[in-house]
Amino acid sequence: MQIIIFDDAQQVAENAAHWVSELIKSKDAPVLGLATGSTPISLYKQLVAKHQRDQLSFANTTTFNLDEYQNIDAENSQSYRYFMNDNLFDHVDIDKSKTYLPTCTQSENPREQGLAYESKIKHAGGIDLQILGIGANGHIGFNEPTSSLASRTRIKTLTQQTLTDNSRLFKADEPQPTLAMTMGIATILDARYVLLMATGKGKASAVKDMITGPLSAMCPASALQIHENAIVLLDKEAASELDDQAYYLWADKENRKVNQAFGLFHNF
């Protein structure tokens, strides 16, 4: 794992945007895995700015989102489709027909929908770079604690902690979905690179478990310990429970020398 600690959340977003834009520029047909939630909003702002200011083009990019609530319309402002349009897709030159989310209505078989999503990802050539946040309970996507480390795209019942954490986003009269389709942990591990962003004190304990805890279904993000190219971008608060911060800062300095000389990505 490459662990990079920044002074604040703004620097996390700027650095994440650098990774994404370098990926987009390095491939003819890049495939991005995207995340929703509060954390990546600042990343999407940076990407929109790069599009407007530096002509970063998304025209050849295909995207796959991690998750989507079951049985929710794209027009519903709580849907992740709406979130992605609002925060990124409507503001860049992406072809929306190449932007995918794991949708599933009540009348559809979630197992078939999950398989179909997996084959769409395969058909696109696999995900080059998967953006991730982390839940306070260590979830990635909606892979809640006890999710199989070998899981694939499927329907999940959200935990009470996730429902409580996300309730801030719902108005009193808005029903909060309790089921969601999510890429599995094995789906995420298949991405060539994963880039996890975590900011704020509320994530510090989950971040510590992810990096130094045992590989365990109780902390789904700990699965990134066995990923070949996992990059973790943290602000000081999210890193605050890590013991070895001085080592991570030193290792980052050394990694930057390699990246500057040879580029961020290899294996493509």
Q: Is there a contact between 192 and 158 (Cβ–Cβ < 8 Å)? A: no
Kindly state the tokens that stand for 166.
């996300």
Q: How many CB atoms lie within 10 A of CB 195?
A: 26
CA dist 61 → 54, 148, 249, 261 (Å):
17, 30, 32, 26
Q: Which is nearer to ligand PGA, 240 or 255 (CB)?
A: 240
Q: How many CB atoms lie within 10 A of CB 229?
A: 17
Q: Which of 15, 51, 65, 67 is catalytic?
A: 67
In the residue annotation, 139 being an active-site residue is answered as yes
Q: Which is nearer to ligand PGA, 14 or 108 (CB)?
A: 14
State the residues that interact with ligand PGA by CB under 6 A.
37-39, 133-135
In the residue annotation, 144 being an active-site residue is answered as yes
Q: Which is nearer to ligand PGA, 39 or 65 (CB)?
A: 39
CB of 268 to ligand PGA, least distance (A): 26
Q: Which is nearer to ligand PGA, 67 or 118 (CB)?
A: 67
Q: Which of 137, 143, 227, 235 is catalytic?
A: 137
In the residue annotation, 73 being an active-site residue is answered as no
CB of 260 to ligand PGA, least distance (A): 30
Q: Which of 139, 143, 165, 235 is catalytic?
A: 139
What gap in Å lies between CA 257 and CA 87, rounded to an integer? 33
Alpha helices in the chain, H assignment, sequence order: 9-26, 41-54, 80-87, 110-123, 160-166, 185-190, 204-212, 245-262
CB of 200 to ligand PGA, least distance (A): 8
DSSP 143: B
CB of 140 to ligand PGA, least distance (A): 6
Q: Phi then psi for 177, rounded to 5 degrees?
A: -60, 145
Q: Which is nearer to ligand PGA, 39 or 103 (CB)?
A: 39
Q: How many CB atoms lie within 10 A of CB 21?
A: 16
CB of 27 to ligand PGA, least distance (A): 25
Q: Which of 128, 144, 190, 209 is catalytic?
A: 144
Kindly state the tokens that stand for 197.
């962003």
In the residue annotation, 174 being an active-site residue is answered as no
CB of 206 to ligand PGA, least distance (A): 9
Q: Give CB contacts under 8 A, 24+ apart, made by 48-56.
A: 48/88, 48/91, 48/92, 50/17, 50/21, 51/91, 51/92, 51/93, 52/91, 54/21, 56/21, 56/24, 56/25, 56/92
Q: Which is nearer to ligand PGA, 13 or 23 (CB)?
A: 13
What gap in Å lies between CA 154 and CA 229, rounded to an integer? 24
- Positions annotated as catalytic residues are 67, 137, 139, 144
